């Protein structure tokens, strides 16, 4: 009903748009759910009844027995973290085995020194970026530097892994005791993960040939992209449509649809400019109503109005073909809604998303106002049953982005979603 072709579920803003919830909805109709980038910095939430699941490295398709889940080559993996995530799901009664979870042998590892480096940067005022402290940036840096990075395929050849790891520890002055403790743990984890590790690119090529239906579950958001985001306050991977291809080893033609997940307002965790931020009572109200606290770190999320300058930029980079608008219920009861339709700087209109942060910091939002609605939308399951002003808000977003809204979410629970044909 919702899945029209192989679909990239894209983060259109600064992350936490409800990609997990939307990917879970699409997974009901898919054969494969694949993650192409990011790592345990992601926190994707799915609620089934009263049960909450937060995914960091595993795709949300694990919650669907018929889905094969792929963690692609572009993902950086903390070995302990992924073992823990698998075990936690198994303890909660979910099947996670070598058939429904495949991990790329080319995926890079987040090693203990990457975690240490991320924490050291965050603890020093000068280098602080407001990261999730999961070692993601340092792991991608090592991947690009090519000197001392390690991949899943290295872990699977443990004698060679041991030798290489010892060499790296020696170069980095890591004490022998610490090195041996890590290696002992990694030896166990390697055996635990062995049934899952494979050439996932080949699996995807076969699936594409066989006409399987695939959901590409994006992580982070376009404005956190390493190239296009608010650099340096970004993550270290390609969070946009291009990243799906490089992070899985598939051609652009394999991505048939890009469903942008657009939160009905904007949030951001961590540092960096945010022109439509509401650092006032509205911001606090939305934070409470939307329970805007990080799924990975628990940090309060900064809240703001919808920003069309950022979204138009995001749409052009990704090629949105559909919009899934989430958290509409959070806006219930607001008398007036604002949409940032442009920026002004020194009295001049700015219609492009600026590269230089000092310029973005000086941009003032230009707002268009729309009337809100007083009704409770959380129980609505048919688009036509939404309050007229809620539909008008959605249709304004649709017009501003020239892309149809095909899905609306009005609550955290899996079923609080409606498709619009
Ligand atoms: P992701 O990283 O894009 O998957 O999003 P997160 O899971 O980090 O953040 C979305 C948060 O909003 C989670 O707590 C979800 O349970 C919750 N959520 C998702 N959709 C809705 C919705 O439509 N309404 C409300 N009230 N909460 C939602
Ligand atoms: P999901 O997939 C929101 C942010 C961090 C920080 C910056 C860099 O759940 O939407 P990193 O640890 O990646 O080096 O941090 O990126 N960030 C996210 N913000 N949602 C995420 O993922 C994020 N992943 C990273 O807060 O500002
Ligand atoms: Mg999240």
Ligand 1 contact, 409 CB (< 6 A): yes
259: left (phi over 0), alpha (psi -120 to 50) or beta: beta
- C-alpha to C-alpha distance for 103 and 58, rounded to whole angstroms: 9
What number of CA atoms fall less than 13 Å from residue 270's CA on the CB side?
A: 24
Please give the mean pLDDT across all residues of the chain. Answer: 96
- C-alpha to C-alpha distance for 314 and 262, rounded to whole angstroms: 10
Average pLDDT over every residue of 69-76: 98
Residue nearest (by alpha carbon) to ligand 1 atom 20: 412
Q: Which tens digit of pLDDT belongs to each residue from 118-146?
A: 999 999 888 899 999 999 999 999 999 99
- C-alpha to C-alpha distance for 221 and 243, rounded to whole angstroms: 11
Average pLDDT over every residue of 135-158: 97
**Residue tagged 């949300």 (tokens):** 60
Ligand 2 contact, 11 CB (< 6 A): yes
- Residue from 376, 405, 412 whose mutation best tests the ligand 1 pocket (most atoms within 8 A of CB): 412
Say how many C-beta atoms besides its own lie within 10 A of residue 146's C-beta: 7
Residue nearest (by alpha carbon) to ligand 1 atom 26: 411
Confirm if 13 and 38 have CB atoms less than 8 A apart.
no
Q: Residues with catalytic annotation? A: 16, 44
Ligand 2 contact, 220 CB (< 6 A): yes
Say how many C-beta atoms besides its own lie within 10 A of residue 316's C-beta: 13
**Residue tagged 């449509």 (tokens):** 241
Confidence bin at 376 (pLDDT 50/70/90): very high
Query: How much of the chain, in percent, has pLDDT values that exceed 90?
Result: 91
Res 372 pLDDT > 90: yes
What pLDDT, on the 0 to 100 scale, is given for residue 230? 97
What pLDDT, on the 0 to 100 scale, is given for residue 289? 93
What pLDDT, on the 0 to 100 scale, is given for residue 291? 94
Residues 6 or more apart whose Cβ sits within 8 Å of residue 268: 13, 14, 15, 223, 274, 277, 301, 302, 304
**What pTM was computed for the model?**
0.97
Token readout for 306 is 């919808």
Query: Among 46-55, 258-267, 273-282, 337-346, whose mean pLDDT is lowest?
Result: 273-282
- C-alpha to C-alpha distance for 225 and 244, rounded to whole angstroms: 12
């Amino acid at each position: 009903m919702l899945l029209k072709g192989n679909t990239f579920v894209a983060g259109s803003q600064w992350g936490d748009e409800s990609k997990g919830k939307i990917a879970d909805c699409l997974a009901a109709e898919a054969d494969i759910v694949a993650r192409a980038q990011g790592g345990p910095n992601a926190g994707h939430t799915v609620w089934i009844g009263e049960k909450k699941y937060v995914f960091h490295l595993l795709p949300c398709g694990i919650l669907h027995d018929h889905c094969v889940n792929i963690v692609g080559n572009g993902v950086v993996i903390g070995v302990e973290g992924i073992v823990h995530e698998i075990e936690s799901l198994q303890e909660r009664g979910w099947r996670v085995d070598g058939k429904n979870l495949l991990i790329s042998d080319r995926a890079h590892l987040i090693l203990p020194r990457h975690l240490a480096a991320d924490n050291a940067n965050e603890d020093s005022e000068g280098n602080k970026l407001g990261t999730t402290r999961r070692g993601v940036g340092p792991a991608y840096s090592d991947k690009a530097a090519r000197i001392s990075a390690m991949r899943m395929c290295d872990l699977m050849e443990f004698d060679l892994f041991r030798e290489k790891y010892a060499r790296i520890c020696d170069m980095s002055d890591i004490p022998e005791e610490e090195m041996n403790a890590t290696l002992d743990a990694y030896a166990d984890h390697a055996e635990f993960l062995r049934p899952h590790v494979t050439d996932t690119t080949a699996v995807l090529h076969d699936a594409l040939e066989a006409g399987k239906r695939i959901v590409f579950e994006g992580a982070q958001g376009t404005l956190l992209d390493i190239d296009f985001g608010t650099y340096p306050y970004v993550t270290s991977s390609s969070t946009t449509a291009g990243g799906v291809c490089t992070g899985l080893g598939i051609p652009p033609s394999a991505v048939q649809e890009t469903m942008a997940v657009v939160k009905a307002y904007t949030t951001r965790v961590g540092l960096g400019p945010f022109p439509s931020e509401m650092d006032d009572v509205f911001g606090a109200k939305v934070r409470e109503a939307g329970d805007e606290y990080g799924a990975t770190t628990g940090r309060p999320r900064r809240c703001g109005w919808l920003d069309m300058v950022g979204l138009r930029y995001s749409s052009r980079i990704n090629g949105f073909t559909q919009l899934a608008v989430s958290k509409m219920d959070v806006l219930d009861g607001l008398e007036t809604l604002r949409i940032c339709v442009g920026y002004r700087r020194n009295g001049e209109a700015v219609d492009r998303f600026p590269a230089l942060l000092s310029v973005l910091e000086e941009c003032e939002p230009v707002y268009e106002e729309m009337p809100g609605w007083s009704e409770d939308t959380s129980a609505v399951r048919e688009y036509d049953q939404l309050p007229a002003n809620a539909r008008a808000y959605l249709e304004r977003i649709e017009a501003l982005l020239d892309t149809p809204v095909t899905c609306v979410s009005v609550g955290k629970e899996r079923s609080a979603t409606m498709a619009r044909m």
